[in-house]
Structures are given as structure tokens and as C-alpha cells.
Chain A
Amino acid sequence: MRLGLVIDLDTCVGCHACAVACKQWNTSGTTGPLTDESPYGAAPTGVWFNRVRHYEVGDYPHTKTVNMPLSCMHCDDAACVTVCPTGASYKRREDGIVLVDQDKCMGCNLCAWACPYGARELDPQDGVMKKCTLCIDRIYDGALAPEDRQPACVITCPAHARHFGDFDDPDSAVSRLSRERGGRKLMPELGYEPTNTYLPPRSAPTVPTADVRRGSLMSNVKDWVNKAIAR
């Protein structure tokens, strides 16, 4: 299995609900807490596994706002695991999920340096590295209803912009989506082979106008006059 996310940049509205749901689930889950510093102060800061950033693509007037949630891509060639000296960072053979064993981590930051996607954040309180687990404590929890065995971010997304599944299965929803919609990997030139895939915004279809209104005689004459007489 190769579990991961498909994120639809066409429908993502940039509401940060996934980031908040992630924070809520994981701060009280097995990897928690996701420590905050001065949460009510002037400069609140803390650990997040998922962050949403906002970009403008193109030049005026042909611009588009793109909201981009970023979390661990659970890379096939995960340099964060390669560089880790303690063996705290590891990639699971059975499903490809990249995890940190907090009992082994020495807090050297090297894995965060090796990750191009900003997916790892050190918790200064605990002194260990923390990152997205793909909600491993949800997706395998048999006590949950099958539709709830998904990452918190996927379940919460009000725009259905997030999809979870197995990329090794060509018939899974994520495989089909990324195939049909031309899913893209980020920074492919670095060779990390990220699993998470981003669907580009669809180009807006042109609204057909030809059959919208059959012109009356009067309007046809008007149109003809407008065309014929140079203003």
C-alpha cells in the first residue's frame, strides 16, 4: 500500500478547516500535544502538521487565487528518514507512512532541514520532532465507522477538496482522480517522489451564449446597425 492524499486546488477555498481539524485531532492523539507558545499573546506560535498558504497565479487581469494546504507528502524517497541519525524517523513498509518515534528522537532538526515541504516542526516543549501521521490512529481504528477511518483533515474539508486512499491501487479514488485530472507532484526535480498529489484548477468552461436568446426583429436590426456603423 502507498497511502496518501489528493488535494484538489480547484475546489479548495482556503478556509483552514483541515489545519484546525488536524491540530485538534493530533494535539489530543498519540503524537500530541502540539504545543503552542503564547496562544493568546501578540505573537501566537505553535506546532502544526498542516498549513494552508495562499498564492496568486498569473498576471492581471488573468489571475487566480490558489489556496495550497501543505502537509507531509509521505515521500517514497524520504530524505528526512535517510538523514535521521537516531532511527527515530522511519517509513513504514506496509503503507508508506512516514513517522517519528518520539522516544528515540534527539531533536537535532536535521530531518526538518532535509524536508523541502516544511512538513516537520520541532516541539520546543518536548524537544522532539513532530509531523503528520496521516492520522494513523484513526485510519486503522476498527472501533470507528468505516467512513470515519480517514484522516481528520479529509473528513472535515467542507469543499471536499481532500481525498485519502491507496495510490498503489489503480482503481482507488485517489489514483483515478490524479489520473483523470492530471495530478501534480510538488518540486519533482528534487526526486523525493512525494505521494500526495495536487489536482490543478480546472480551466473554467466558456459559458455558451449562442442559444441564450433568439433576437427579436428589432434587436437584430440594432445589432446589424451597431456592427455596420463604426463608432
Chain B
Amino acid sequence: MHPALSVIIFTVLSGAGYGLFSLVTLLHLSGRYPASGQTELVTQLGLALALITLGLFSSTLHLHNPKNAWRAVMRVRTSWLSREAVCALSFYPFALIYLWQVLQVGVEAGPLMVLVGGIALSLALLTVFTTGMIYASLKTIRQWHTALTPANYLLLGLALGATALVAVHAGFGGRSEGLVLLALGLLLLAGVMKGLYYLWIREVSGPSLNTATGFTQARVRLLDQGHTAGTFLTREFGFDPGAGRIRRVRLGVFGFGFVLPLLLMGMVLGGGSSLWLAPALMSALAGIGLERWLFFAEARHGVMLYHGLQRT
């Protein structure tokens, strides 16, 4: 699949934003946010909303007819993209009331704050889940058609959010072993899940050129695609980075996305300066950006069978 930059930016940034928002809200409402001042809380929530909004804005860039984007809420009953749009939109009023309450009332969580915060938190997680389901629901792409896809989206969003959370906390001079441990745990879990995903997609399954053409009892090979130059299909689905590039990018995913930030967090836990959490965030963002590129780049669409692939 062609990796569209706007979609990569959208899923990484808004995933991180929703992760950050839900973790901050959860910690705050349950009274576990360590000694948070109002400014810090507002900064965390503001950053989360900024990331989410930037991501959603980027997502509209890949629409070829954005003037009809408002119609995306029309098919909630069947379409995961529609569900994502509805979740993402209904998140805003609750999130904004929550933020406004924190600004007005302060860090003491009242009943209204718990109510709107709780709803916003659920909608944030639901949005990330629906994003994953957009891809997981496509039977045409076996690398995506698995429950591991929404699991990856959720865990990676939470892990990035947690990394951002500890970095901002450190920026305010805070130092909390518990928070860093939480971020470390989530990042580790997300990394293991991604590793499982990479193992899972090695298993070849699904249609072949034989079932695609109906000739299941003999070898089939492409003689001619019927066109001399590219088509919409080859441009959209024909991208193939090659095994070598996939291997190298995977090293980057694990190196920048998980190993380096985990080491930096370990250093902080071992008594190092909390400022190391900023480069940890940068590294995790870069690594998970690569992860998202690869998520698209190594997915092979069934229509490529008609263009000569034997298996996807």
C-alpha cells in the first residue's frame, strides 16, 4: 500500500494525543497524578488537544473532495471510518468542558469534572480503537485483517501518550518514579505486541493468484497487465519497499521506537536526570512514525494478485 504522509502524521499524532489525554485524565480523576499544579494539568491537556487537532487536520488532507467531509458521519451503522469521525467529533465538547472545569475550579475533581472527563476519556480510547478497526475490517489486506491491528493502535497511542506525559511532567520539574514506570511498562507492552504482529504477518494466508483468477488446479502467471503506464490501482496499491528495506526499517522501529526510549527511561529510573525523557519522547515519535510508514508499506492489497503477485 502507498504510505500517505498525511495518514501517517494523523494516526501517530492523534494517537499520541488521545493516549496522553486519556492517561492524564485517568490519573487526575483517580487522584493519582503526582502533585499536579493547575498549569501543568492544563499544559498536558492542551498539548493532547493540540496533537489530536493537528492529526485530525492532517487526516483531511488525504481526502480528494474535502468539501464533503462533513458527510463522513452519515454511516455509523456500517462504516468504521464513520464511527471514527463521530467519536472524534463528540470527544471535543466533553474534552473542552473538562479543560474549562480544570481552568475554573482547579485541580480538585468535582462531580461534573468526573462525568465529562470520564466520557471524554472513553471517547478518546474509542476513537483510537475505531481507527484501528478501519484497517482491521478490510478483508482485502491480510496484514491488517487481524485483531492485532486495533490492539497495536491502542497500545502504541497509550505508550506515546505516556512518554509525552512523563516528558512534560519532567519539564515542570516533576520527578515521579511511578509515572516513568508506567510509561516504561506501556512502551514495553506495545513493543512486544508489535513484535507479535510482525511474527503474525509472516504467516501467508488468504487469496492467491489462483483463487483470484479461478484457475485453482494449475500454475497461473501474469503475461500482461493490459496497460503500459501506471494506473490508480498500481499507484495506490502497488508500492513495494522490498524485503531488505522492510528489515532495515524494522530495526529503526524497534531501535528508535522502543529500545532507545526504554534505555533512557531506565537511566532516569536509575537516578539520571529527568531531562532524558525529552529525547526519549523524540525517539519514540520517530520510531513509531517509522512503524506507521511500515504498517502501510508492507501491507499488500489483494488486487495486486491480478497484477502478478502469486500471494499477498
Contact = CB atoms under 8 A, between A and B. Distances in A.
Nearest to A119: B303
Interface string B45-75: 0000000000000000011111111011111
Interface string A171-210: 0000000000000111111110000001010000000000
A65 B213 CA distance: 12
A94 interface: no
A58 B218 contact: yes
5 closest A-B pairs by CB: A107-B64, A127-B64, A43-B229, A127-B65, A85-B82
30 contacts: A42-B229, A45-B230, A45-B231, A54-B222, A55-B215, A55-B223, A57-B219, A79-B138, A83-B78, A83-B80, A83-B134, A85-B82, A86-B72, A88-B71, A104-B68, A104-B71, A106-B69, A106-B71, A107-B63, A107-B65, A109-B236, A113-B1, A113-B301, A114-B138, A116-B212, A117-B303, A121-B233, A127-B65, A186-B214, A191-B139
Contact of B63 (A47, A108, A189): A108
A117 B233 CA distance: 10
B207 interface: yes
Contact of B138 (A83, A85, A124): A83
A16 interface: yes
A192 to B, nearest CB: 8
A: interface residue count bin: 35 or more
Given A187-B211, A198-B214, 16 more contacts: A44-B228, A52-B226, A56-B222, A59-B218, A83-B81, A83-B134, A85-B79, A106-B64, A107-B68, A108-B63, A109-B64, A113-B236, A114-B139, A116-B207, A116-B303, A200-B214
B63 A106 contact: yes
Contacts of A139: none
Contact of B75 (A66, A86, A113): A86
B32 interface: no
A136 interface: no
Interface residues of B, number: 56
Contacts of B30: none
Contacts of B303: 115-118
Contacts of A85: 71-75, 79, 81-82, 85
Contact of B302 (A55, A110, A190): A190
B224 interface: yes
Interface of B: 1, 62-69, 71-75, 78-82, 85, 134, 137-141, 206-207, 209, 211-215, 218-233, 236, 301-303, 306-307
A138 interface: no
Given A53-B306, A190-B302, A84 B214 contact: no
Contact of B306 (A58, A70, A105, A191): A70
Interface string A17-40: 001000000000000000000000
Contact of A65 (B140, B223, B230, B306): B223
B221 A56 contact: yes
